[in-house]
């Protein structure tokens, strides 16, 4: 059994690829290296450089490798930046999926796990988000994730053997391997670490929310836990079992931004008092996910604490500073 991981040279994708290998499953990594790194591709994986927009190249991948399923991680992942680059976002995240799914269909590959996002919910008016919550994306990025889920569902009409699920996750942090780190300039942990390494003080956007400490609460999950869930979903599909169309991967409780800052100060040994900046428009006070269904069906669990997340992220970031 061999699974194809698109975007497998990126921060999340490379963890997924390694989780497959750790489970004894062969992996083919397909990535254009636009944001990924060849150094992130694990030993033992077959690496093929290419774009998900190139359906011919994807078809060759299926022709030359005995692929039994696909985990789709590749895409343009910056929600805020997608507002400035909507056409680019739609091209990468929608046109790319059309090419991938078309190539899968032609090759007769029926198992599919889509890396979706909590951005499909927009700003839900609930404390804990369940899979039944309304989909109301507020950015081109979130919109493309909804369309990606629709495309996965649409495949059922043309392939009676089609089995899939969409995994919706919130804030992915940490590192499962020292050599892999989050390089995004838009995510909280890299932003805070970069400020500390540059001798600057991190900031919190608003401390007057209706939460216990006044700062926003978000759901943070360790990237290695996320990777294991992708593999578990793939294994269930490989066994011929149908999964729900979508699963939330979250803690059900979340952590506040102030708690994150305190943990970062503790782990790094760098004492600081965060700058309190104004609220950002549209930031909800609290968003966490109910992962009950995923816990039941694909062995989802929080195997790492917040301290584990911060420590592993900091160690991998320092290694590459």
Q: Buried (b) or exposed (e) across 16-33, using 16+ Cβ within 10 A?
A: bbbbbbeeebbbbbbbbe
* Residue 194 burial (10 A CB sphere; 0-12, 13-18, 19+): middle
Contacts of 72 (CB under 8 A, 6+ apart): 6, 7, 97, 100, 112, 113, 114, 115, 148
Q: Buried (b) or exposed (e) across 265-281, using 16+ Cβ within 10 A?
A: bebbeeeeebeeeeeee
CB of 36 closer than 8 Å to CB of 24: no
CB of 257 closer than 8 Å to CB of 216: yes
Cα gap 236→8, rounded to integer Å? 21
CB of 3 closer than 8 Å to CB of 19: no
Cα gap 147→154, rounded to integer Å? 10
- What's the chain's Rg over C-alpha atoms? 19
CA 91 to chain centre: 19
| Residue whose C-alpha is closest to residue 287's, from 170, 204, 187, 167 | 170
Active-site residue, selected from the candidate residues 141, 181, 209, 220? 141
Q: In what order do the strands lie in the sheet with 217-218?
A: 128-129, 286-289, 217-218, 255-256
177 catalytic residue (yes or no): no
Sign of the C-alpha dihedral computed for residues 264, 270, 271 and 277 taken in this order? negative
CB of 14 closer than 8 Å to CB of 42: yes
Cα gap 198→321, rounded to integer Å? 10
Give catalytic residue positions. Answer: 141
């Amino acid at each position: 059994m061999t699974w194809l991981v698109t975007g497998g040279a990126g921060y999340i994708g490379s963890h997924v690829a390694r989780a497959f290998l750790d489970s004894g499953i062969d992996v083919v990594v397909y990535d254009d290296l636009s944001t990924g790194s060849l150094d992130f591709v694990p030993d033992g994986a077959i690496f093929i450089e290419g774009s998900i927009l190139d359906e011919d190249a994807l078809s060759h991948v299926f022709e030359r490798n005995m692929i039994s399923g696909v985990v789709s991680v590749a895409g343009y992942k910056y929600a805020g930046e997608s507002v400035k680059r909507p056409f680019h976002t739609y091209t990468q995240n929608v046109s790319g999926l059309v090419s991938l799914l078309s190539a899968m269909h032609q090759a007769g590959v029926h198992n599919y796990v889509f890396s979706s996002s909590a951005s499909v919910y927009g700003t839900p008016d609930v404390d804990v988000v369940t899979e039944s919550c309304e989909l109301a994306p507020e950015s081109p990025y979130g919109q493309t994730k909804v369309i990606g889920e629709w495309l996965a569902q649409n495949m059922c009409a043309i392939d009676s053997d089609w089995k899939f699920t969409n995994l919706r996750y919130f804030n992915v942090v940490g590192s499962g391997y020292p050599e892999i780190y989050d390089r995004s300039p838009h995510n909280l942990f890299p932003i805070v670490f970069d400020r500390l390494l540059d001798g600057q003080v991190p900031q919190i956007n608003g401390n007057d929310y209706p939460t216990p400490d006044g700062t926003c609460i978000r759901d943070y999950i360790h990237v290695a836990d996320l990777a294991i869930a992708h593999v578990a979903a793939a294994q269930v599909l490989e066994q011929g079992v149908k999964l729900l169309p979508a699963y939330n991967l979250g803690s059900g409780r979340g952590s506040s931004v102030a708690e994150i800052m305190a943990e970062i100060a503790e782990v790094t040994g760098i004492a600081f008092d965060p700058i309190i900046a104004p609220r950002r428009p549209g930031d909800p006070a609290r968003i966490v996910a109910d992962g009950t269904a995923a816990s039941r069906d694909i062995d989802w669990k929080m195997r790492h604490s917040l301290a584990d997340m911060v420590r592993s992220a900091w160690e991998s970031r320092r290694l590459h500073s």
